[in-house]
Amino acid sequence: MLVVEVANGRSLVWGAEAVQALRERLGVGGRTVGALPRGPRQNSRLGLPLLLLPEEARLLAEIGAVTLVSAPRPDPRNHGLALASFKRQQEQSFQEQSTLAAEARETRRQELLEKIVEGQAAKKQKLEQDSGADEGQEASGSEATQGSETSDDGQASAEQEGADSSSPPDSSSPQPGPSNGVTPLPRSALLIQLATARPRPVKAKPLDWRVQSKDWPHAGRPAHELRYSIYRDLWERGFFLSAAGKFGGDFLVYPE
Amino acid sequence: MEPDSELATVEVPAGRVLSAAELRAARSRSQKLPQRSHGPKDFLPDGSEAQAERLRLCRQELWQLLAEERVERLGSLVAAEWRPEEGFVELKSPAGKFWQTMGYSEQGRQRLHPEEALYLLECGSIQLFYQDLPLSIQEAYQLLLTEDTLNFLQYQVFSHLKRLGYVVRRFQPSSVVSPYERQLNLDGYAQCLEDGTGKRKRSSSCRSVSKKAKALQNSLPPMSGAASSPPACDQSSQYSEKPQESSPRKGSGLSFQALGSSEPCPALAREDMECGQENDKIKNGAKGAPKPRWNFEQISFPNMASDSRHTLLPAPAPELLPANVIGRGTDAESWCQKLNQRKEKLSRRDRDQQAEVQQFREDVNADPEVQGCSSWREYKELLQRRQLQKSQPRPPHLWGQSVTPLLNPDKADSPAAVLEHVSVLQTTHLADGGYRLLEKSKGLEISFDVYQADAVATFRKNNPGKPYVRMCISGYEMIEQFDEPVPDLCSLKRLTYQSGDVPLIFALVDHGDISFYSFRDFTLPRDLEH
């Protein structure tokens, strides 16, 4: 059962699966009005939330596909619990991410072991050749090996995976060197999800769309009733309707 | 459906929470948006397999895009806290790149307006906390967009404009500079004070001319064109002699305008000549000490004053004029009378003198009508009749009745003047009378100042300058506030006046579709020439 929150006469859908179900199963489109996570600074494609026309929301409630609820206010009683659980979840995520990062590093090292050994051998040869020239060469020799390892790692991973996104956690944490110590992920490299929808379940009061209230001011308005009857009729015939503000009309009707 | 008792509540399911593995996987997803349609646009369903396949692909991409969650590194997020009782968001860690155009500083702390904070949250630049819990976007929409902060429609327009690249700030009524202030250059002065450098930027050449005029008067308002100031400078010395208005500054301004409107052709010709000479003189003066090229003993400047008139103006030398401009010589004698539309106010002594002279000019008894009077009473009647005639030179059969002629014969010298009397519609401007409406505070308000996108590099929050446009937002959803989303004339006038000389754009939001429209003044042309 899909739940749609209504506030001030505006119905917003925040779940992507809900949007898909509404569109594919029920033929109700709505309009995306938020920023798209992949490209938040462009206007051609927008993302969640999905804004439903009042007529669409009412239709969905009437056919029983969706429950309309008044948007719930945050409950101060649950706040302490929520805070504790959030902190716990954050720590857990941090641990898991550290482990995963370490594992990923290790597997990559294993894959490139041959190349590392080759590189080390080549460096050693080069050092032996130039050992008599500079006495500072000895001190910087170990660092140079490490440096060459990093560059080899980075190069090889770029070749293999074709994505440089895996190198940031490596570059942010200090290179462990040729040994296999597990360095923890630095706090700044922790990946955080900025949740789109509320990450916790919450209780809300159902909304009666037959009664006029602060959250649903459309009930009883003649303009709304008129639009709704037309919307319902065309929807039942199988058309797909959307808002037509851009063209100065009420609805755009598409054959489906 | 659920029973409608108080205790019955519906559980709203939680949104998706990504696991650690999913978070890491999210880093490597593509950053590019897929193209909108695979192939040319189809207009009708034709039931073909290919079309169905394309549709399926498009849909799949759409769901995939919508289902993606925002994943950011903790180090690249700025922590911010929402303060509902104060209505702003306070930054807990130093601001990033967005600080250049958004936010404001107060009491040493960095703050954001709710709409800015929400936009940055959607972009993934900040992490918004409320009572130590990070807010999801859904919760942020609920908490930050209330009636007293900003409503949903205004946020929609704000984010739309920000995504396009404009710099959008809240409307500050105190920043509106009236045209008079701008004329007096008060806005430049105020900016200098704020800058603290004390250096005045020389943006137009007319200021150097005005500095020269300052020697004659207190200050000269800089005129819009450089060409207009040289004649003003020249005329100023003559006008200051005439006892016209109290403030000489205003006098030169007004009289210049009268000058400009009543004599287009010779003024132009004169200005061309003068401009070339004046500018040259200024240039030469600015350079230092080289001897001026022109011998001013021999060049006679035009003079329209009553003493030593010089009104015969030869054609200017063609090499001094720009291409395609033909100069010609004129005789400006005829304009001399039209120059000063005001009647000369003679001093009391002059008036008395004139009256005396007139009195003794003729003998009363030489008048035949006076001779025809046989008694003192008849003479008095004659005087009365003459008095009546003088005060009412108009024939009584025309003017004595209820329907009178529209014009006096001496007043109707052109068809345009006649039309003026007959016209029912008067030309008005949109902002006329707006100051009287300012007390009305209900209804539509200006929401945002918008600055252009290319000004981002030079944008300074303390001194943003004149906005490109101001935005008023209305929508079909706000039915309870207005009857119509299109503003009525009263609101239009009030808002245009409030906006000053910055154009006003109305944004109409209809269910996610934003349309922008504006009202413009224009003047209908008149059919007849003056």
Interface touch B152/A72, C-beta < 8 Å: no
B11 touches chain A (CB under 8 A): yes
Smallest Cβ distance to B136: which of A89, A172, A198?
A198
Each residue's pLDDT tens digit, B311-325: 777 777 878 888 888
Predicted local confidence at residue B118, as pLDDT: 93
Q: Would you give per-residue pLDDT tens digits along chain A (256 residues)?
A: 788 888 888 899 998 899 999 998 888 888 999 999 888 888 888 988 999 998 999 999 999 888 888 888 877 888 888 889 999 988 998 888 889 889 988 998 888 888 888 888 999 999 988 886 665 555 444 444 444 444 444 444 434 433 334 444 444 333 444 444 556 778 888 888 888 888 888 888 888 888 888 888 888 888 889 999 999 999 999 999 988 878 878 889 988 7
Q: How many residues does chain A have?
A: 256
Predicted local confidence at residue B341, as pLDDT: 58
Q: Under 8 Å CB-to-CB from B473, ≥6 apart: which residues?
A: B153, B154, B157, B447, B448, B506, B507, B509
Spatial CA neighbour of A6 closest among A44, A55, A42, A57: A57
Smallest Cβ distance to A165: which of B23, B28, B476?
B28
Token representation of residue B463: 């001194």
How far apart are the CA of A181 and the nearest CA of chain B, in angstroms? 21
Strands laid side by side in the B133-134 sheet:
B104-106, B109-112, B88-91, B78-83, B126-130, B133-134
Cut 0.80: pTM above it: no
Please say whether the beta carbons of A5 and A204 come within 8 A.
yes
Predicted local confidence at residue B232, as pLDDT: 38
Please say whether the beta carbons of B15 and A198 come within 8 A.
yes
How far apart are the CA of A124 and the nearest CA of chain B, in angstroms? 36
Question: Which residues of chain B fall short of a pLDDT of 50?
Answer: 1-7, 194-288, 478-483
Longest alpha-carbon distance in chain A: 96
Longest alpha-carbon distance in chain B: 128
Chain A residue numbers with beta carbons less than 8 Å from the beta carbon of B480 are: 217
Please say whether the beta carbons of A48 and A196 come within 8 A.
yes
Predicted local confidence at residue A230, as pLDDT: 94
Cite the DSSP H helix spans in B392-502: 396-399, 415-422, 489-499
Q: Under 8 Å CB-to-CB from B354, ≥6 apart: which residues?
A: B346
A179 touches chain B (CB under 8 A): no
Predicted local confidence at residue B345, as pLDDT: 59
Predicted local confidence at residue B290, as pLDDT: 61
ipTM of predicted complex: 0.76
A255 touches chain B (CB under 8 A): yes
A163 touches chain B (CB under 8 A): yes
